[in-house]
A and B are shown apart, each in its own frame.
Chain A
Amino acid sequence: MTNSSKQDPDREPIRILAPEGHKFSRRDLMKFAAVSTGAGLLGTHQDQFLLSHSSNLSALQAAAKRSLKAVGKINKNLYIYTWGQYDNPTTFSAFQSATGIQLQFGSYNSNEAMIAKLELAQGTAGYDIVVPTGGYIPEMVAKGLLLPLNKSKIPNFSKLDTKLLNFPWDPHNRYSIPKDYGTTGFIYDKTVITRKMTTWADFAKAAALPAVSGKVSLLDDPNDVMGIALWNSGIDWNTPKSSQLHAANKWLIKNLAPHVSNFDSYPGATGGLVNGSYVLSQAWNGDARQAILHAPKRFAWVVPEPASEIWVDNWAIAKGAKDLNTAYAFIDYVIDPVVAANELIYTGYSSPVSNVRNFLPKNLPAANMIFLTADQSKRLTSYVVNSSNNLRTQLYSEFKAATAAG
């Protein structure tokens, strides 16, 4: 996932227009939408669950104090630049109360926007912590936007699952610490689509059904949309070959453009699925889970064959960070198993912390959407920004123009 916060039920201030720091939040919308459409209080179950199962405050505070001890002298402020509503609020409040460190936040809704801002400011933006998606890290390192990490200041690093370390986009995790990871798939309304759905070809075929066409949403993300065609035809998602990308886009324009009604990175959290605007949506697992939690019998989730995406979002320290020790203390804290569990319950995305499951409630709803099976993992790949990036965004514009014309 390149273009938006994964879960971000709440804030993602409506993608493109995205006035940063807009007071309106997506979760508010969801409730409002649910009330006004008579669909019941969407999100309530989840909220009650959050209240009763979030890690308790003292455990979180103890974790914060442990992390603080490991780093030495600290500053009293930390500025975090991250995806809107991508963390459990109690994670932050416990850290603040235990350490006295004031946290400040800025939010963005695409890696590109975040990179552009850091690039413009050249270390003067005042941000200490940023949260890039894995595939963007090489670009950020090349542009000199990140600082290398001193892992002796992050003792909890040893608690991370080695399968989620040392990715090609950041060998030996010099610049980044995994925050969470998830997958791209699709969710559909079983009351409308009754056929068997397992592949991206099924997705395209279902989209063309009369009852479905015009009620289909795709992620608002060039690489995830391009992925559908590449995954479907067995081509490497990272291919830089112009001919393959053009052919893939042609396939998308022919098979999906006439049926797509919206580009929406949060069809679950924004209520598009629940209120019936979409009956078939490409989605990230944590977001799709929002719809499933609301109507488990109505929707089904598919991690499609033959291939799809696994993305990893990461904590990193921005160039120009004022106090590294404070940043280390924070990063160490958020990968403490207690804190990681608290985050997972909120976002619905898997954690890279090895034993996080020991800290989770037994009755986590729709847990099968959070944790990947070995079989699913085998068919998932990641995208790393490469030289074809400009072509990809240009093709995406063409695809969007074709859907507008269709």
Chain B
Amino acid sequence: MNTRGLRGFVAFSYLWYALWFIAPGLIMLVYAFGRTTGISQHGLVNLSHLGFSNFHTALANPARPILIISLEYTAIATALCGLIAFPVAYFLARKVQPRARAIMLLLVVLPFWTDYLLRMLGWRIFLSPLGLLYDALHGIGLNVASLSILDTRGAVMIGLVYNYLPLFILPLAVVLERIDPFLLQAADDLGASPRTIFRTVTLPLSMPGVIAGTILVFVPMLGDYVTPTLLGGARGLMVGSLIAAQFNEGQNWSLGAAMSIILVLILVGIVVACGAAAVGLRALAGRLRQRALAREMVAS
């Protein structure tokens, strides 16, 4: 493909994206300022009196506590994903042969080949009081009669971590794998203990992976409504289900649109914050390196 053809193709992809992503987004933005129509009126949203009332509703009770709970869940589940993903990614990137690594990475992404809904329903069955988990716990002599897992926040957390973990492992493993082995060797040659090497070389250099993983996990998780709906029951309500309910049973598209816009703004804010953190970290690392260099020169 020549440059012109390539340019045309790129322009087309942008246009395609603009049409099917940005245009619906703009429609939602406009809807968010409208009002829901009465039951006997035509149309979905009445746009004759625009105003901020939907945003007030979306940020007041009962939507606000749900939004806050969702942020909490997502933050905790993302942190758990990171804590679990790090050793796994480290092992994958550094401790196994390339062929074994390929197989293990395949195993990490394998669940994605099965329908997500089906996997969540599988969890429902597994966690139910007559399911395998209870059988197993009962089998090792635990009293499970009063235990409830399904339809609790704990179940939502299990589902969220399970489901988004691969999205954290993959970018982290890639970044860890790319760390130049000579850096580690150099640190070793200069007498750093493995612990010091991890703390001063591996960990700082893995930060781009941590940040990428955080964004990849946090962003879709905050809007997830399948997991909380299927595993959390009444207790696991998250903002995604609340938004879906406005469009469905609520027939209040303008309120649903306002809630979506708020969610998008929060996510943009978080992505920007992560980006700023990445830039800041890089600057900090650069400054530290310069200072170390200067110190060495003074010493010599």
**In the assembled complex, which residues on chain B have CB atoms less than 8 Å from the CB atom of A353?**
none
**In the assembled complex, which residues on chain B have CB atoms less than 8 Å from the CB atom of A406?**
235
B280 within 8 A of A: no
**In the assembled complex, which residues on chain B have CB atoms less than 8 Å from the CB atom of A385?**
39
Q: A215's contact among B126, B148, B229, by CB below 8 Å, is which?
A: B148
CA A400 to CA B57, docked complex, whole Å: 16
Given contacts A19-B117, A261-B234, 6 further A-B contacts (CB under 8 A): A112-B249, A116-B44, A139-B40, A276-B128, A385-B39, A387-B38
* Interface pair B69/A14, CB less than 8 Å apart: no
Q: Is the interface of A mostly helix, strand, loop or mixed?
A: mixed
Minimum CB–CB distance from A218 to chain B (whole Å) comes to 8
CA A3 to CA B245, docked complex, whole Å: 11
**In the assembled complex, which residues on chain A have CB atoms less than 8 Å from the CB atom of B165?**
none
CA A260 to CA B237, docked complex, whole Å: 12
Q: B229-266: contact bitstring with A at CB < 8 Å (1 yes, 0 no)?
A: 11001111100011011111111110000000000000
**In the assembled complex, which residues on chain B have CB atoms less than 8 Å from the CB atom of A403?**
234-235, 237
Chain B contacts with A in 115-173, Cβ cutoff 8 A: 115, 117-118, 121, 124-126, 128-132, 135, 148, 150-152
Q: A15-40: contact bitstring with B at CB < 8 Å (1 yes, 0 no)?
A: 11111001010000100110011110
A142 within 8 A of B: yes
**In the assembled complex, which residues on chain B have CB atoms less than 8 Å from the CB atom of A396?**
249-250
Task: Count contacts on A: residues with CB < 8 A to the other chain.
Answer: 61
The 5 A-B pairs at the shortest CB distance, nearest first, are namely A401-B62, A262-B233, A142-B40, A404-B237, A276-B129
Minimum CB–CB distance from A136 to chain B (whole Å) comes to 9
CA A378 to CA B67, docked complex, whole Å: 44
CA A220 to CA B245, docked complex, whole Å: 10
B78 within 8 A of A: no
- Given known contacts A398-B62, A402-B62, is B151 in contact with A277 (CB within 8 Å)? yes
* Interface pair B229/A14, CB less than 8 Å apart: yes
CA A110 to CA B40, docked complex, whole Å: 18
Task: Count contacts on B: residues with CB < 8 A to the other chain.
Answer: 53
* Interface pair A16/B251, CB less than 8 Å apart: no
* Interface pair A142/B66, CB less than 8 Å apart: no
* Interface pair A400/B121, CB less than 8 Å apart: no
* Interface pair B128/A16, CB less than 8 Å apart: no
CA A277 to CA B130, docked complex, whole Å: 8
Shortest Cβ distance from A259 into B: residue: B234
CA A220 to CA B250, docked complex, whole Å: 12
Shortest Cβ distance from B42 into A: residue: A143
**In the assembled complex, which residues on chain A have CB atoms less than 8 Å from the CB atom of B117?**
14, 17, 19, 22, 24
A221 within 8 A of B: yes
Footprint of B on A, CB under 8 Å? 2-3, 14-19, 22, 24, 29, 32-33, 36-39, 110, 112-113, 115-116, 119-120, 138-139, 142-144, 214-215, 217-218, 220-222, 260-264, 275-277, 385-387, 389-390, 393-394, 396-398, 400-406
CA A386 to CA B39, docked complex, whole Å: 7
**In the assembled complex, which residues on chain B have CB atoms less than 8 Å from the CB atom of A390?**
36, 250, 252
**In the assembled complex, which residues on chain A have CB atoms less than 8 Å from the CB atom of B55?**
none
* Interface pair A24/B63, CB less than 8 Å apart: no
**In the assembled complex, which residues on chain B have CB atoms less than 8 Å from the CB atom of A33?**
124-125, 128
B300 within 8 A of A: no
B65 within 8 A of A: yes
- Given known contacts A37-B130, A112-B251, A404-B237, is B121 in contact with A29 (CB within 8 Å)? yes
* Interface pair B118/A24, CB less than 8 Å apart: yes
* Interface pair B251/A116, CB less than 8 Å apart: yes
* Interface pair A404/B69, CB less than 8 Å apart: yes
CA A32 to CA B128, docked complex, whole Å: 13
* Interface pair A36/B125, CB less than 8 Å apart: yes
* Interface pair A400/B230, CB less than 8 Å apart: no
**In the assembled complex, which residues on chain A have CB atoms less than 8 Å from the CB atom of B152?**
261
* Interface pair B115/A116, CB less than 8 Å apart: no
**In the assembled complex, which residues on chain B have CB atoms less than 8 Å from the CB atom of A120?**
44
- Given known contacts A144-B42, A402-B62, A404-B237, is B249 in contact with A38 (CB within 8 Å)? no
**In the assembled complex, which residues on chain A have CB atoms less than 8 Å from the CB atom of B235?**
261, 403-404, 406
**In the assembled complex, which residues on chain B have CB atoms less than 8 Å from the CB atom of A218?**
234
Shortest Cβ distance from A216 into B: residue: B234
* 27 residue pairs from A and B, CB less than 8 Å apart: A24-B121, A33-B125, A38-B135, A110-B249, A116-B251, A119-B44, A120-B44, A139-B39, A144-B42, A218-B234, A261-B148, A261-B233, A261-B235, A275-B128, A277-B128, A277-B151, A387-B39, A390-B250, A393-B245, A393-B249, A397-B63, A397-B242, A401-B61, A401-B62, A402-B62, A404-B234, A404-B237
* Interface pair B128/A116, CB less than 8 Å apart: no
* Interface pair B249/A400, CB less than 8 Å apart: no
Minimum CB–CB distance from A16 to chain B (whole Å) comes to 5
**In the assembled complex, which residues on chain A have CB atoms less than 8 Å from the CB atom of B40?**
138-139, 142-143
CA A22 to CA B117, docked complex, whole Å: 10
B226 within 8 A of A: yes
CA A37 to CA B248, docked complex, whole Å: 33
Minimum CB–CB distance from A404 to chain B (whole Å) comes to 4
Shortest Cβ distance from A253 into B: residue: B62
Q: B249's contact among A221, A260, A262, A264, by CB below 8 Å, is which?
A: A221
CA A251 to CA B111, docked complex, whole Å: 44
CA A16 to CA B247, docked complex, whole Å: 10
CA A110 to CA B250, docked complex, whole Å: 11
B191 within 8 A of A: no
CA A334 to CA B41, docked complex, whole Å: 32
